Amino acid sequence: MKMRKLGNSLEVSALGLGCMGMTGVYGPATDKSLMIKLIRDAHDRGVTLFDTAEAYGPFTNEALVGEALQPIRDKVVIATKFGFDIDLETGARTGGTNSRPEHIKAVADAALKRLKTNHIDLFYQHRVDQSVPIEDVAGAVKELIAAGKVKHFGLSEAGVQTIRRAHAVLPLTAVQSEYSLFWRGPEAELLPVLEELGIGFVPFSPLGAGFLTGKIDEHTKFAKDDFRNLVPRFSQEARKANMAIVAVVKGVADRKGATPAQVALAWLLAQKPWIVPIPGTTKLSRLEENLGAVELDLTSEDLAEIRAETSKIKVEGERLPEAVLKLTGL
């Protein structure tokens, strides 16, 4: 597995593993024992970055990741997140944010227990809390680092001014936001600022929540509890229009003897050497397919073709439900 560096010092595999979907979100949770095996299979194949959050469940995803990685804890990087208003005893949540310093510290202690570890490698603020100055958030994480409970600080779905202010208090190792051929928003402001400041970028939904695999079209039926049922970009009309993007990716994939998913991930990897996508899956075959992207060489001609063809296409539909978009800083 090729390695990449986030920030100045955190070396990770070129592709990480997003674990969110293992405990729900895209439909019912998958069998726990199978997911533990899949996480360990990912490490056997070179993956060292594993992404989770207290909000996934809540709590069940962190517990799964902690159990799976406990035997190999010293060989992996665990990223988790704080920032939602979740009762640490019951898991009840209001839907709002909570990044008060005392809450951040309590979340860290609870996460350490669920993850079966004595330190969190990368601790992200999951969503910006407009009621708490980002300087106070960074200060709380700085204290956690001083205590040895956290190694690196990150932000998720934050705007560039928030990133600058946080970075001035405590250098950020990584920022996580959605980025793919299905959502190119970070290119305008975010990527230039990250490059300027030396911060790594960890794109989630690098396959457009599955759309860029070519396995979804306007006739696809999602499970009743699949979050994509609520996403405007996944309405039947939007999917039909957005197949034009998939056609571009498929065209390159056919020529390269690759799959659309591999081309979409290789395109991301080709954008910057400090980009580390975290595609998620519950299937070993998909994991192995995704990892094949690391060895797929897209030439300058391939990249130019993708850029030229996709620039002609307007993606239809918002990338998230309106209520969720309001929590982002983008």
Cα 114 versus chain centre, distance: 20
* Whether residue 124 lies in the annotated active site: no
CB of 324 closer than 8 Å to CB of 153 = no
CB of 241 closer than 8 Å to CB of 327 = no
Instruction: Cite the beta strand spans of the chain per DSSP E.
Output: 3-6, 10-13, 17-18, 49-51, 77-82, 84-86, 93-97, 120-125, 150-156, 174-178, 200-204
Cis peptide before 58 (omega within 30 of 0): yes
Tell me the one-letter amino acid at 212.
Answer: L
CA distance 38 to 101: 35
Rounded-to-10 torsion of CA 107, 111, 117, 119: -40
Cα 312 versus chain centre, distance: 27
Catalytic residue annotation:
56
